[in-house]
Every structure is written in C-alpha cells, then in structure tokens.
C-alpha cells in the first residue's frame, strides 16, 4: 500500500493517538488531523473525571478487557516520560445491599480472570482502613487504579504528531467522502464558530470559574440546576412495554415554557414521537404502505449531518466558505459524536447510531471549609448495574487536589450543546426518531425511573453521593465541567461498548469505542493502525 498523504478526522484523544501512531509507522507520509472545533479534545476527551479505567467489569478475555490492559501498559511509560500527572490512588466500589454485594462478587471474578493485579473484597473494617469516610456493607478494592489528566495527555500526543511533521487543521468541517480505488477525496469547508462551553473551572483548567459557578448548589440562584427542573421525576412516563418512556417535552417545558417559540418546538417533537408510537399513521404518509423512513431530523444534513443548527429564535450570523476537496491516500475517521453521520455520508450503514448523553461533574475545591476536600483519598464509587448503565457515581480525588463528583448523566438535548438552556432540534429529532433509542429506554425504564430525580436535580444527586460518602458537605459542592458522551446504540436498543471499525478501500471509520476509551486510546490507535496497514485493502471490517 503506497501512502504519502494521510488524513485523520477528529482531534479527540483517540484521533490524535492514531495520528501519532501513523507518523511513527509511516515516517515519509504527510499526516493531517482535521477537526471542526478550535482546539484539541474539545468534546468527550476533555470532559472526564480523569480515572484510568481498568475495565474491572469487562467480560473475561473480551476485546474491551484486552484493550484496557494494553492501554494501561502503553499509558504508564508515556506519561512518566512526558511528565504528565499520574497518581495511582486505588479505587473502592461500595455495595449498599446484598444485591450489590453479589454483583461485586461477579466483578471480582471477572477482574481476576482478566489479571487485574491486587483486586480483592474488603469487609467494613478493611474498607475504613482504605477510605475512612466510605460507607457500605462490602467493597471491592482495586489498589492500582489511577487518575491522570487526559487533556494534557492529548496535548502531549499532539506535540509528537507535530514534531514528526504532522499538521492540525482546526475549524474545518468535513462534510463527505468520495472513495476511489486507491485514494479518498475529502470534502470540507470552514466550520461555523462552535458554541462556547461554560467556563466553570474544570479539573485541570487554568481559567477562573464563571460567574455563579461557586454558588451553593442549594442557594436558589438563577444558575442553580434545581431552578431549571422539577423536583419530581417527570421525564419518565408509561410502563416499559408501550410507547416512549423518556419524554423530551417535559424537559423542554421546564426550561423554555415561557418562550414564544416553544410551541413550534413542542409540535415538532410531538410529531416525531407520534411517528414512532403510531406506526399506522406514519405509514399513511408514505407511499407503498411500507415502514416509514425515520430521518429523525438527519435528512437536511446532506453532507454528513454535523453542521451545527441553532434553535428557533436563536439564529446567529455566520459565514462559511464554499466546499473544498483534497485527496488522500488514506483517511481514518474518529469523529465521536458525529461518527454515525459521517459514516452515512460515506455510504456506510448508519448503525450503530450515536445517542448523546450529557454528563455533569461537580467539584469540591481544596480551599473548601471543614476539610471537605479531604474526605476521600482516592476513588470511591458505586457498583455498576447492567440494568441501569448510566447510574454509576464516583468521588475522585483529582490529579491536582480537590474532589470531582460525577457523572450525573441524562439524555442530552444536543450532541454539542453544553449550556443548560440550549438544545439542537435536529439532534433531538435524530434521537427521538431512532427506534433503537426507544427500545433502550424501555429496557431500562424501571431502573431509570428510580434515578430520575438525581438525574435532573443537583441536590438529589449529591444526596445519592452521600449514601456512600456521608461526610461530603453539600454546601461545598460547586458545578464543574459538563461533557457529552457519544454512546453508540444498535437497532435493538443494546449499548455498543466495544471497538467497532469499518473499512472500505482507503477509508476507515471508527464507529464506537469501549467505555474505557480514554484509558485505551494508545492501544486503540495501535489496533486500528494494525487493521488499516496490515489488513487486506478493500475489506469491510
């Protein structure tokens, strides 16, 4: 395979790691990384709690387990050499009842089968020796779990790319691909300015907190999340056998009910939901009586669907350049939140689809009163629940001190909407028009309903944290970073938490990543490069 020009689409941690891997393997090639954002790790990679995830609960011998282990093997020497903060602090998973204790037994068996060193169960007395402020009936202890700065890691990887002659082109929106026998034509244009995310003093950030970021979460201020939602669980309705269980309209009413344009938005969402819940009416609008094609708001996005769309009444002036093209010998796409749309633009099957989930993190600073920031030494978290995949909580002593609490996860109102009052109608349509999302919602309805209050109320979320770390002072908690997770879901509503890669000719698409995506970044880059450079050209992976 003759390769002189390589394009990597996506400047998150996996895309940059892959670019670095390729510069090492193809020293004579010109490697260019494209991203529509104006910086590295602008989305999911730059919004984490910093846990180096050993994938404790991964199936023994699975690809996820192998990637996590190999990822740590590659990560540790790299951060050591480059002086990136890395602290091996240990992790406790705390069981609150017998059901959770049984799950801990299962996780222990998996961790041991995957050769994760030092993992063991602790009774209450042993638990308190490791974390004096932890509370529960049983704990699983992984002494070698660490925290690091994944943004700094991405920057270090990028510096290696630049040092090897690679280049980064930010503010460039990739809109499509033309795959030929021995090259790929990349279509692109200048990206519109992205929405700025809130400056709320994120872990590892040099910026000051935004106005109101340090307010007491129960103060009743305009910036308090509790002011923007109802205390009662109202985003879930119906049973888990008929119709949707997550209703975006209630969420929108709580945020935008007083706005003039809200009725138009609500009607649009109603039509999208009715198209799913009343298939007969949907078929009546389509010739031939076949299954209606749910574009979910994607159809207008003819160039890949990742153009940012403003909500009604909030359009902004913007000027973008005409579409341009460049030809490359090899193109690899690691687009995260836009993976499915760019795959569709390239002619691949849309599945698995991306459903965005907003993850809010909170913090207690070292300067907090009453030594609130000292109550956790390492990482204390809840026991993973397969029936409620987004219910996990943790308290993490951050790499630079202070505590990070989270994530508090709920379905996002936009793939790249970070402000609490904003939404993207096209992104919401893509979610509610996807049958796999409703199947996932139905499968998790009972457990999701139990956690609905903490998902939309900051104070309720902190009370959930206090169940396993009661020494946490709610008055010391402030809002911290907000991230949006690109969750791949298949047509049956099953979460896709594994590396999936599809290839056609000289174009390769990374469709989904394991949950330990940041931890596994170097290993993922290694594996994808192996597949692309060593596999048969033109094979579909």
User: What is the percent of the chain where pLDDT is above 70?
Assistant: 71
pLDDT in tens, 409-461: 888 888 887 776 667 888 888 898 999 999 998 887 665 555 555 555 788 89
Tell me what pLDDT residue 302 has. 32
Tell me what pLDDT residue 276 has. 43
For the chain, give the mean pLDDT.
78
User: What is the percent of the chain where pLDDT is above 90?
Assistant: 57
Tell me what pLDDT residue 429 has. 85
Taking 60 as the threshold, does the pLDDT of residue 313 lie above it? Answer: no
50 or 372: which leads in pLDDT: 50
Q: Give the β-pairing of 495-496 and 478-489.
A: antiparallel
71 or 373: which leads in pLDDT: 71
Beta bridge partners of 236: 246
Rg (CA), the chain: 23
Gap between the Cα atoms of 241 and 506, Å rounded:
44
Tell me what pLDDT residue 98 has. 96
Please give the helix or strand (H or E) that residue 379 lies within, else none.
Answer: strand 379-382
**What is the reported pTM?**
0.77
DSSP output for 293-362? ---TT-TT-TT-S-S--PPTT-------PPPEEEEESEEEE--GGGHHHHHHHTT---PSEEEEEEEEEE
Tell me what pLDDT residue 231 has. 29
pLDDT in tens, 263-289: 554 554 455 445 444 444 443 333 333
**Cβ neighbours of residue 157 closer than 8 Å, sequence gap 6 or more:** 13, 16, 17, 19, 20
Question: Helices 435-443 and 425-432 sit at what angle, rounded to 10 degrees?
Answer: 70
426 or 15: which leads in pLDDT: 15
Beta bridge partners of 8: 33, 332
Greatest mean pLDDT range, 32-41, 159-168, 392-401: 159-168
276 or 155: which leads in pLDDT: 155
Taking 70 as the threshold, does the pLDDT of residue 296 lie above it? Answer: no
Where is average pLDDT lowest: 36-40, 221-225, 348-352?
Answer: 221-225
**Cβ neighbours of residue 419 closer than 8 Å, sequence gap 6 or more:** 195, 197, 198
Taking 90 as the threshold, does the pLDDT of residue 193 lie above it? Answer: no
Span 465-478, average pLDDT: 94
Gap between the Cα atoms of 533 and 526, Å rounded:
11
Tell me what pLDDT residue 49 has. 87
Span 454-478, average pLDDT: 88
All structural domains of the chain, each given as residue ranges with its CATH number in brackets, are: 5-193+320-534 (3.50.50.60)
Tell me what pLDDT residue 454 has. 57
Per DSSP, the three-state class of 439 is helix
Q: Is the peptide bond before 386 cis (omega within 30 degrees of 0)?
A: no
| Residue 303: CA count within 13 A, CB half-sphere | 15
pLDDT in tens, 106-132: 999 999 999 999 999 999 999 999 999
pLDDT in tens, 208-240: 333 333 333 333 333 333 333 322 222 222 233
């Amino acid at each position: 395979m003759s390769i002189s020009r390589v394009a990597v689409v996506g400047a998150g941690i996996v895309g940059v790691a892959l670019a670095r891997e390729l510069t090492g393997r193809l020293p004579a090639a010109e490697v260019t990384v494209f991203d529509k954002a104006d910086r590295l790790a602008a989305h999911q990679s730059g919004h984490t709690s910093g846990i180096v995830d050993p994938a404790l609960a991964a199936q023994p011998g699975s690809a996820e387990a192998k990637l996590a282990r190999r990822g740590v093997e590659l990560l540790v020497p790299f951060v050591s050499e480059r002086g990136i903060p890395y602290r091996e602090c240990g992790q406790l998973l705390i069981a609150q009842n017998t059901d959770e204790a049984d799950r801990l037994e299962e996780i222990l068996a998996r961790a041991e089968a995957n050769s994760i060193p030092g993992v063991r169960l602790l009774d209450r007395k042993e638990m308190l020796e490791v974390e004096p402020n932890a509370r529960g009936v049983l704990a699983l202890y992984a002494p070698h779990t660490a925290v690091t700065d994944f943004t700094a890691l991405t920057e270090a990887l990028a510096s290696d790319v630049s040092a090897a002659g690679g280049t980064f082109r930010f503010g460039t929106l990739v809109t499509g691909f033309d795959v030929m026998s021995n090259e790929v034509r990349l279509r692109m244009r200048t990206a519109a300015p992205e929405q700025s995310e809130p400056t709320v003093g994120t872990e590892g950030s040099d910026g000051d907190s935004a106005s109101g970021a340090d307010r007491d979460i129960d103060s009743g201020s305009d910036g308090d999340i509790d002011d923007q939602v109802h205390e009662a669980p109202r985003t879930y309705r119906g049973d888990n056998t008929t119709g949707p269980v997550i209703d975006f309209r209630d969420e929108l009413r709580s945020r935008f009910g007083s706005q003039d344009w809200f009725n138009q938005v609500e009607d649009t969402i109603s039509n999208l939901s009715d198209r799913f819940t009343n298939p007969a009416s949907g078929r009546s609008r389509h010739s031939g009586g076949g299954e209606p094609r749910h574009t979910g708001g994607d159809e207008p996005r003819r160039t890949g669907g990742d153009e940012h769309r403003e909500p009604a009444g909030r359009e902004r002036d913007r000027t973008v350049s005409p579409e341009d093209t460049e030809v490359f010998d090899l193109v690899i796409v690691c687009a995260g939140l836009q993976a499915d749309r760019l795959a569709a633009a390239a002619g691949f099957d849309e599945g698995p689809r991306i459903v965005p989930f907003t993850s809010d993190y909170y913090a207690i600073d070292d300067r907090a009163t009453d030594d609130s920031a000292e109550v956790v030494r390492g990482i204390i978290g809840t026991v993973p629940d397969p029936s409620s995949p987004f219910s996990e909580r943790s308290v993490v002593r951050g790499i630079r001190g202070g505590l990070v609490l989270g994530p508090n996860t709920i379905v996002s109102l936009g793939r790249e909407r970070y402000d609490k009052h904003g939404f993207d109608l096209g992104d919401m349509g893509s979610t509610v028009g996807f049958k796999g999302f409703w199947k996932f919602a139905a499968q998790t309805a009972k457990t999701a309903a139990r956690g609905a209050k903490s998902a939309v109320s900051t104070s309720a979320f902190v009370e959930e944290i206090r169940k396993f770390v009661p020494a946490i002072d709610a008055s010391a908690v402030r809002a911290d970073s907000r991230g949006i997770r690109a969750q791949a879901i298949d047509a049956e509503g099953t979460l896709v938490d594994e590396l999936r890669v599809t290839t056609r000719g000289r174009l390769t698409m990374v469709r989904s990543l394991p949950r330990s995506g940041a931890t596994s970044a170097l290993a993922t880059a290694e594996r994808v490069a192996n597949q692309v450079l060593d596999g048969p050209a033109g094979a579909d992976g």
